[in-house]
Structure 1
């Protein structure tokens, strides 16, 4: 099974046999890969009922829930990793969700689209409209993205809160790229964080 590029990076860096909570796990693709290739004990939280059903049909332990309200119910340090892939920008309170991730997991993976990528900037500059791209396919009025963040926004946010960045990976067209000028060149970012 082929994983989305950000998920593949996460999968490559999760320790064998770890306990993982995948928040916004979608259909469970990452959880299944971690279970099958790394012997991970993976649990999931997903808001969409259809995705929950798809994940459960794969034999995964996934419950339906909302990261904005349900993460408060998880005990401290109950997982080795808490994962939030392509979900931070859809949360009503991403700061609170991130606090919970770092409380629940000893480490946290966070991946998100970079709204400062040069194609996004060019679309706004030359077209004057919110961009619609293969990676951001929804129009402004039907997008689940309610917080448009950039790599530099995220770096500043974690620095201000004293959160340690254990690793960072940047993707352009699904291929890993260097951190040089990542805010301009990368379409997606993946961070591994620790409090």
Structure 2
């Protein structure tokens, strides 16, 4: 089994055995396969890219092609114990609506995203005057799927405005966890556990 991305490893470690999971924007199904292969977790996926759907299905996973912006309304309330949205929020056309669906479909929801307020991003803009290209944000501004540049503080404000509770949060700098103090400045990536 290949190692999971650090944000996915955090999520995989926190989902209890026997849970029902919907992974929205599941990519090639790496997280779903890890969840399935341990403790009988029933993992389902929704993915927009046909090649990723094919790769996930080839792993024996239950994945359908769909769009988080258009198709989440079709899922019933509390259909899953956990709804997961990893590195997808910033690509959604209406992230606030996707987030509302997430906490409606899952009893709890994990959301992970790159932090666009990280000090290296800020420095790139300040000193270079250009949108940064980093390890976590490897595409140029005109080639990126990211259409919303979310920061940790922006996300916290959005969930508070929507009456969503943050149960826990983890912050990553590089591939290692970092402290929550000043996370908006020092964390490259964030993982939040939410509930309505």
State the TM-score, normalized to the length of structure 2.
Answer: 0.99
Q: Which moved more, 1:150-159 or 1:84-93?
A: 150-159
- CA deviation vs aligned residue, 1:128-149 (integer Å, no higher than 9, x gap): 0000011100001010000001
Equivalence for 1:83: 84
Shift of 1:39: 1.4
Equivalence for 1:152: 153
Shift of 1:161: 1.6
Matching of residues 1-195 of structure 1 within 5 Å: 1-195=2-196
C-alpha distance in 2 between matches for 1:38 and 1:123 = 43
**Matched length:** 195
C-alpha distance in 1 between matches for 2:120 and 2:39 = 36
The 3-state SS of whatever aligns with 2:169 is strand
Structure 2 gap ranges (5+): none
Shift of 1:102: 0.6
Shift of 1:21: 0.1
Structure 1 gap ranges (5+): none
The 3-state SS of whatever aligns with 1:141 is coil
- CA deviation vs aligned residue, 1:26-53 (integer Å, no higher than 9, x gap): 0000000000023100000000000000
State the TM-score, normalized to the length of structure 1.
Answer: 0.99
C-alpha distance in 2 between matches for 1:27 and 1:43 = 12
- CA deviation vs aligned residue, 1:153-195 (integer Å, no higher than 9, x gap): 0011111222110110000001011101000000000000000
